[in-house]
A = this chain, B = another copy of it.
């Protein structure tokens, strides 16, 4: 994802790994559609996209009477916020630029200044995500011992962030340090982010990897030596419960059963202190067509009923540690989470 002459240039992740296709989003609705249709995905990345979406809305204000600016921007923010319900980063990204807009409107900024400042704010938000990834990669790599075999789920990689990735960022850095020997990405049905995206990233970096279907995880844990499971997150509640891609909760139970540490890597913008526990995190229920069709062909009888919760919640008791850019939350509980987020002074 990159800003390119007044538009957001987005790698269409639905086409990976077979083709690298880029979309140009010129307006907030175009960004919202790219998020909703999952051309662009990954909690940190959709936060950055949301921020740029508001900046794009500001670009359109030159053609609108000043009296309508606030409503126009508000409409764009709503559209962006409604594009996906689970990842809280999206709200942070949108709110950050919205707040900057509010101040500038109060100051009487003109349309041009507004657009430039909001774009700069989105840039800053994105730059912070990049820096977060670097920091989490260092902290997370420290948790792994030399020559570890690790398992990961979905795509918490460079494709999901502005930087190195969260879980995959840790794996990348740990591999450089000789702390990762082999990676098992789970394919992550129904969207196959593991096979299409994570494996693609790992292979480009030359990190030895073996794809498994989601239902092989337990067998691989029992028969190969797995040292850690490392995943990202879409939202973390105040009590340190973790919402992440469907399948994460099951992996955490399997890891516990096999005595394998289970690490969550996520920037502090993933934490939502307004939500007391995982039970209150809204879980997006996506179209069942994404479950019963692969490449547009049906894998189930006509008229089949299916479920498609896109996320699940892992209770904090199953999480060994949460790695944020502000520090490692270990044990993963609400008290420790608050202390780490508050910074070193109070940690």
Contact B212 A307 (CB under 8 A): yes
The answer for the CA separation of A187 and B299 in the assembled complex, in Å, is: 9
Residues of the B chain whose Cβ atoms lie less than 8 Å from the Cβ of A301: 17, 199-200, 203
Given A257-B253, A295-B294, CB of A307 within 8 Å of CB of B211: yes
A30-72 interface code vs B (CB 8 A; 1 in, 0 out)? 0000000000000000000000000000000000000000000
Give chain B nearest CB distance to A310 CB in angstroms.
10
User: Which of B211, B215, B253, B300 is A306 in contact with, Cβ under 8 Å?
Assistant: B211
Give chain B nearest CB distance to A311 CB in angstroms.
8
Q: Which residue of B lies closest to A18 (CB)?
A: B298
Binds B, one of A96-104, A217-225, A228-236, A339-347: A217-225
Does A111 sit at the interface, judged by CB under 8 A?
no
Does A246 sit at the interface, judged by CB under 8 A?
yes
Given A211-B291, A213-B189, CB of A195 within 8 Å of CB of B304: yes
The answer for the CA separation of A309 and B213 in the assembled complex, in Å, is: 10
Residues of the B chain whose Cβ atoms lie less than 8 Å from the Cβ of A190: 213
Residues of the B chain whose Cβ atoms lie less than 8 Å from the Cβ of A302: 17
Does A312 sit at the interface, judged by CB under 8 A?
yes
Given A295-B297, A312-B218, A312-B219, CB of A307 within 8 Å of CB of B210: yes
